[in-house]
Amino acid sequence: MQSQSPSAGYLNNAKIIYGLYALGYFVGVTTLAGVILAYIWRGHDAVADSHFTFQIRTFWISLLIGLIALVTMIIGIGFLIWLFLAVWGLLRVISGFLLANDGKPVSNTKYWGMMAE
């Protein structure tokens, strides 16, 4: 019987958070649960920590863009910003999950782009 590496265990946690973020499109509170777990679980494994940092940044950037969208609803462009935010967030969740599933770190956690690198 093979034992699981520490990275694999923590990467499973990262995948759980990506799942919570994806579920957040339907049940918003799961995204908040995901970011709380990312803060709790980081600090134990370098590979998984790259994902947790990426997830935390995704949450805070999403919140900022969401607030901008809310404010700009008055002038009519907020809906376009919401659409951009939905696509941006979903692509970050999918690409991050795929990297975690392959056991790879997010190489640039400060990146604001659509895909995890």
Geometric angle at alpha carbon 108, from 105 and 109, rounded to 5°: 85
Parse the chain into domains and list their residue ranges: 6-101
Packing angle between helix 78-101 and helix 6-23, nearest 10 degrees?
160
31-58 pLDDT, tens digit each? 999 999 999 999 999 999 999 999 999 9
Which one has a higher pLDDT value, 41 or 111?
A: 41
Over residues 89-114, mean pLDDT? 94
